[in-house]
Structure formats: C-alpha cells, structure tokens
Structure 1
Amino acid sequence: MKAAYHPRQAERLATLRAYGILDTPREADFDDIVLLASKICRTPIAVVNLIDADRQWFKAEVGLGARETPLETSICSHVILDQDFTMIEDTHTDPRTADNELCAPNNGLRFYPGALLKADNGLPIGTLCVLDNKPNTLDEGQILALKVLARRVMRELDLRRSLRTQIILRDEMDHRVKNSLATVSGAVRLYKAEARKTGDADAAFDAIQRQLDAVAAVHQAIYTSETDERLDLNNYMSSLTGHLSNSLQGNLTVTSSAPSLSVPPKIANTIGLVANEFAANTVKHGSLQTSGSGINYDLAFGNGELTLTCSNNVPEHLADPGKIHQGIGARIMRTSVEQFGGVLVQKGGANGFELVARIPFGAELQS
C-alpha cells in the first residue's frame, strides 16, 4: 500500500531541500551512524533515509547496496506520518506493508524499527531505520539508542546547513563590500581630479568622508533588514540622518521622513549620496543662523516614482543659487540619479534651498 502524502507535504519537502543534502556523496559521519545502529540493533540493514517527492534517498546505508528506491516500496513513507518512533515486528501482519513487494516474500524485509528525522520546525524529513529479513523486536535500550542516533543525524544535518548558510552570507557580504568600495574608489578619483583643479583638498576629503558615511548607513540598514537583498527605506534614512547630525558642524538640525518601503541597496546608495551632498552644500554655502537652522529630507513614493525632496531654511551667500550645485558633487549626484532614468531639479532663494531627485521605481527595480 502506497503511503498518503504528509498533510504538510509542500512545506515538508521545502524543509528537506533546504538542507541541501539530497544526492550528495557518502560521508563517514553518517556511515558510522548506520554501522553503529546495525550493530546495536543486531540487524543486517540500517539506513539514513530521506523521503523526497517521488523517491526515498539514502544518505547512508549498510546492507542494502542502493542509494534510492521508489516511494511505492517505501516503508518510511508510512512511518513519517506516525509517531517519533515506529516498530513493525512483522511486516506481513501490518496493513501498511503486507502487500509491499519488498516485504511479501518470506525472505523479504520482515522487521522494521525507525526513528523520525525531524527538522527544527517539527516536520519529518526521513528516518533512521534498521531492517531484518525475519520478524524481530528491540529492547528498550536498543530503542533508546536508535532515537539518540536519529538526533545525532539531525545535528549533523543542521551543522552542515548552518555552515552552508554562513558561507553564503560571507560571500554575499564580500560582494557587497567589494561593490561599496568600488563606489567609494570611483568617487575618490573624481574628487581627486576636482581638488587638483580647485586646490581645495579639504573639500575633497570631506566629500569622501560623506560618501563613506552613506555606505556605512546602507550596510547598517542591510544588516538589520529581514533580507540581504533589500533594506527598509525608513530605517535607512533614520540611520543616515543620525550620521549627518553627528558629523555636521554648526547649529543644524537634521530631520527626515520616509515610507517603510523595501528598496535595493543601489537605490539607497543614490539617496544617501544626494542627501550627503545637499547637507555638505548647506554647510559650505549657507549663512548658518545661531539657532533654528535645519535640513529636512522627505521621501515619498507614488505613480511609479520615488521622490526625495531635500530642503533647508538657510539663506544662501551667492547671488545666483543655481551656481551652488554646479561642482563635482553636483555632477556625481546627477549621474547617480540619471543611471535610473531619474532627474535632479534644484531651486533656491534668499530664505533657503530645495533639491528634488525623482527616481523611477517600477517593478523592474523592485524585484
């Protein structure tokens, strides 16, 4: 009799495959466990058996000489629907196995005890089982040993999954750091060239520091997000404004508002770059008051567009405010926004300055 599907079959299969163990080579750690189970239970066969969608696959076995068999002949596919431990003393008398072609012959599989392999979410992914070609039974000590060895199998599987996850996270972190350093490196080259023309090395170093702060804010938001591929825009802006509040000179307050929108790091990097350059120009060109001077960043999303509005209440020194944002920082801002097909608009006056960055944010960028 073929076993019914587990009531949470799709989730169970996803749990099994998350271990990345199917179709992997034999390993001594698991081979030792089945050998020990066979010796303790005094049976010729012992198996670490994982129940896939249409097969049972053996991570380790002794006495079988196979790596997988169809589910139609699987005893374990019945057992994963049962309790943590199941013992069939004679398969000929159990309705689940009486008509199983592997059990039906007199010299077939007549004896089956199995302990479930359960993931940390409580779902069974297989069994550690032993088998004999004659009816048999296990004593309490043997049953306990089989349960303990099953838990040992799960610890080995959990360890391998954790190590694989750590490797993936390390590779992802290395990739992100490499990209961030490449961004900073490109900015350094541009600021260096500008400093040679203007002779203002301090301004170049300040700009590089702002770029590093923006990158740091991105990474902080990534590490606290639920996924490494996206970050929450509201959390990111809170982090960024915190950096700016601590680093800006003068009596400036920095505030921000942003939706709790999930965005890719490359979008956040652009927003951070624009915000940092706007803050730097406010300090450089503005007539800072003794109190009440402030910068505000307002982010909004609508009609497939992300809009960052940077504003201050700081009067400008220059007669033509449009010239304020024509330096290297302005070119970097514009290039960064335009890479997404966006636009940068600036306007100013005697009482303050406003800069608006509009970035298309459709399905292709949200994915």
Structure 2
Amino acid sequence: MNAFAPQRPSLTVILANPRGFCAGVDRAIQIVERAIAKYGAPVYVRHEIVHNNHVVDRLKKLGAVFVEDLNDCPDDRPVVFSAHGVPKSAPAEAERRRMFYLDATCPLVSKVHLDAERHHAAGREIILVGHAGHPEVDGTLGQLPEGAIRLVETLEDAMGVEPRDPDNLAFVTQTTLSMDDTAEIMLALKTRFPRIVGPHGRDICYATTNRQEAIKAMSAACDLVLVVGSATSSNSQRLVEVAVKAGARDARLIDDAGCINPSWFEGVRVLGLTAGASAPEVLVEGVQDWLAARFDLSIDVAETARETVTFKLPRVLTQEAEPA
C-alpha cells in the first residue's frame, strides 16, 4: 500500500429497503421474456412495458419491439399490453384483427379499472386523481365512455370541481402518486362532498407506499438522496419529491451511475440510496460500485417493510406445450 496515497473521504450510505422492482413490474417483464422465448422474436409491446430505459433496451435486444399504436403491429405476431394498462379500445381492436395478445396490466391497476366500472354502473360521477398524459391515467379514462371520468391533478382542481350531483360522486386514483399529496386532495374532496365514495382500501399501490415510507424514514439524516429510475417513471419522480419534503438537503433522480455528477457530493457525509419500482437492482449495485471507487464507504440499511407479494403469469405462458 502506498503510504503517500491520498486518503479517500468517508461516506455513509443508507440503503432504503424496500426498493426497486415491485411484483407488477416483475410480472410484466416476465410476460415479455416468456412470450419471446415461447413464440420467438419479434414480440410487439404497446408502450414501454415499464418506465425504465435499461429494462426496455434489454428487452429490445431479446426481440421486443415497442410501439405506441396497434397500427404499428402486424396481425400475425404476439402483442403485449404494458403494465400501466390500456383503454378498452386496445384489446377490442386486437380482437377485431384476430391478434394474439397478452395483457401485462398490473393487477393493482386493473383493480382501479374495476372500481371505476363499478361506480359507473351504480350511476356515480367519477373523479380520477392522477397526472394527465400518464399511460396509466389514459388507460383508466379509457375504461368508460368519454366524459364519464373527470381528471383531477391538483388541490386547486379538487377545489374547483362542480359535479352534477354532489351526493352521487366517487373517486379513484393513479397507483403511483405521492401518498401525502394525494391525501391532501382526497381530504379536500371528502370535505366538500361528504358522501363521496372511495376505494375499499386505497388505490396507491403497496410498492409505491412502501418505497415512499422507506425514503421518509431515512431522508432527514441524508445530505443527498439518489433515486435510481428513469425520468418517465412517475413513482421514481415522487420518491425525489418525498425525500426533499422529508428533510433531505438534496435529492436527485438518476438513470444509472453514469449520470452521477461528482460535484453533488460537496459537503455530503450521509447519502441515501433507493430505486423506483421499475428500476432493476443491478443499477443500484452500479451506483454502489461508483461510490466505492471514490469513497471509504459505510453501509447502513433503513428497512421499513418486507414485501412478499407475487402475481401470477398468464396461464398460456406457464402451461406445458401440447404433445405433437
């Protein structure tokens, strides 16, 4: 060892747990992988299967072709609908064209769809709390006739809602929102419309909730929090916001270790590290390697929950092939 080598600065890294892939993301990725293995390439996927650039690029190399419209898919190749869900018009069009399709919609998103249909069947006007333009929101809006669901994005929107019948309202939410921000909007709706009907539990998914709780638990102790996830990932963006609100001096969203700017570490002694629900653990490991090459690391873990949820794959992908 060189006695004259400069001493590396010390850095405490707090790893959030849970972090990374949720059950819905894992299921969606497996559906694409198994479809390619069973039916050969190419397999077409309507919209990014999950919002992570690395996952999408890896699946492209395996033979997935990502499109935004079924018009870009041939009739004779399998098509997969993304984890975010699709409007009812998508499977209807696939059936009209006699296409073979697999639905990778997260079961928790499907629950929101079913709740919206139940409210509509009961004659209620429906409010959807979510972000305009997000594919999950587009999919939920597309479950019912145009105008049946009203989108509310902000507290200001909630205060401006003028329903046809204030006593016959219901609400559902996007699954990847900030719990705190959504709670504020829901409180406003319930205060204005005491008879509004909500979900039996809550629509924000367990994985979004768990990752936000984990980052809340550690952020006050952190000079900087790094969230591994793509800019298109709603749940990853919310983690950055939650970290700052929970007391982190700074928080950054990064695709991978290559996006880290060393200047961020000026004065940083404690770093929080987590990953959005669509980010693979290998990217977190890459960040740890980047840090280990520059700092004398001490690793702590902030665990707030243990996840055991799994979702079944479509039977057509798990059943044995029929003998010839």
TM-score range for the pair, normalised by the shorter chain length: under 0.3
Greater helix fraction, Structure 1 or Structure 2: 1
Q: Compute the TM-score of the two structures, normalised by the length of structure 1.
A: 0.23
Q: Compute the TM-score of the two structures, normalised by the length of structure 2.
A: 0.25
Larger radius of gyration: 1
